[in-house]
Structure 1
Amino acid sequence: MKKIEEILNFIVEIEKLKGVQRKTKPVGLERYENSAEHSWHVCLSALMLKDFANEPVNIERVIKMLLIHDLGEIDAGDTIIYASETNELKDKEAAGIKRILNILPDGMEDELMELWHEFEAGETADSKFAKAVDRVPPLLHNIHGDGHSWKAHGITKDKVFSVNQRIENGSEALWSVMRNKLEVAVDDGILK
């Protein structure tokens, strides 16, 4: 019974991800997305795009990575990708994920923590693909939302292309399509 209580405490704690506001608006909505919505969206996206990974992937592991990769934002908050790769933020997210996973019963957190570290390192086929898919929804939000986040944060086309070119590490086919969409966004004046 104690294990169930600890799992229920974890479930209550991760509910807070719904309150973490991201920097992009879902397509067709005026409000900003929350991090829990993002997690759902990238998981379903990964499931639909798995056949386009550069290498065979274990989709269950990819989905687990995508479900937990942003839990550290409960403590660290969300930062736009173009400004989020600082050591200070990474340390804050790492401390947050550790705190949250430590709510789980002994031993349950180990696999999830390993998956989180694997995602962050981005060196395996599964993590490369997960990181690639993680980049897609925010791009689509901007492409289909008049570049709202790019414009609000002064993000240039050079920055968008350089940061998101990493998609090709997990899926060259996906990057090819997304690069074309970004080029159209430039031509349409959405991305400058």
Structure 2
Amino acid sequence: MDLHRLKQQIEFVREVDKLKTINRQTLLIDASRRENDAEHSWHLALMALVLGEYAGGDAINLLHVIRMVLVHDLVEIDAGDTYCYDEAGYADKTQRETRAADRIFNLLPPDQATEIRALWDEFEASQTPEAKFANALDRLQPLMHNVFTNGRMWKKHGIIKSQVIGRNRKIADGAPDLWTFARNLIEKATDDGHLAP
């Protein structure tokens, strides 16, 4: 056993436990509290497993998608969660998250650091079929939470329909059928008065 390698791996596992403390702007579906990043990542992994058949007609590697969504928000341990409609927060988001990726992934032994950093980079680039599907799920999940909580966080932040459509149209790149579903949710939320037109 390589004790140095194990020590690095355990240090990484210990560090990423902090993801449980990063609260998002998304309410749980029962609206009892805000979701944390670890719960979000787990939910995306389960959604990938259940909804994989909607991955845009491409034959995708679902295990690869699951691995990607499990690591995609680890950088928020250092960078914090940036609310998806916060234009000012997005100004330096890439720089903050890249610095975080450099630190957090390099806690691992070099081979694993390279492998996990590549998953994060692939998710961010959103070019492969797997990354496009992962990104589609990353948008669909909070959209559903907003709809199923009667738009509470949309209302709190003054979000309007065009912002929701603009943010979420990327779902179509990785899962066109799920974008049709999402558009129906958006229309219903607007019709029901939970999302401002």
TM-score with structure 1 setting the length: 0.97
Which residue pairs with 1:114 in the alignment?
Answer: 118
Supply the AA of the counterpart residue of 1:47: L
Query: How far apart are residue 86 of structure 1 and its match?
Result: 2.6
Query: How far apart are residue 117 of structure 1 and its match?
Result: 0.9
Moved more, 9-18 or 93-102: 93-102
SS of the equivalent of 2:27 reads coil
8 A Cα contact 2:75 2:101, kept in partner: yes
Instruction: Work out the CA distance in 1 between the residues paired with 2:129 and 2:149.
Output: 31
Determine which of 19, 22, 32 is the counterpart of 1:20: 22
8 A Cα contact 1:132 1:167, kept in partner: yes
Supply the AA of the counterpart residue of 1:131: N
Instruction: Work out the CA distance in 2 between the residues paired with 1:67 and 1:87.
Output: 25
Which residue pairs with 1:52 in the alignment?
Answer: 54
Supply the AA of the counterpart residue of 1:153: H
Give runs of aligned pairs for residues 12-161 of structure 1, distance below 5 A: 12-54=14-56, 55-83=58-86, 86-161=90-165
8 A Cα contact 2:82 2:90, kept in partner: no
TM-score with structure 2 setting the length: 0.94
SS of the equivalent of 1:64 reads helix
* Displacement over 3 Å in runs of 4+: none
8 A Cα contact 1:17 1:34, kept in partner: yes
8 A Cα contact 1:24 1:148, kept in partner: no
8 A Cα contact 1:20 1:73, kept in partner: yes
Coordinate RMSD, CA, aligned: 1.1
SS of the equivalent of 1:155 reads coil
Measured against aligned partners, the alpha-carbon deviations of 1:43-97 in whole angstroms (never above 9, x if no partner) come to 1001111111111111111111101110110011111112267341111011112
8 A Cα contact 2:41 2:70, kept in partner: yes
Which runs of 5 or more residues in structure 1 are unaligned? none
Which runs of 5 or more residues in structure 2 are unaligned? none
Instruction: Work out the CA distance in 2 between the residues paired with 1:105 and 1:25.
Output: 36
Measured against aligned partners, the alpha-carbon deviations of 1:92-118 in whole angstroms (never above 9, x if no partner) come to 011112211100012111111111111
Instruction: Work out the CA distance in 2 between the residues paired with 1:75 and 1:148.
Output: 27
8 A Cα contact 2:71 2:120, kept in partner: yes
Instruction: Work out the CA distance in 1 between the residues paired with 2:143 and 2:47.
Output: 13
SS of the equivalent of 1:44 reads helix
Higher strand share: 2
Instruction: Work out the CA distance in 2 between the residues paired with 1:111 and 1:87.
Output: 28
Moved more, 140-149 or 34-43: 140-149
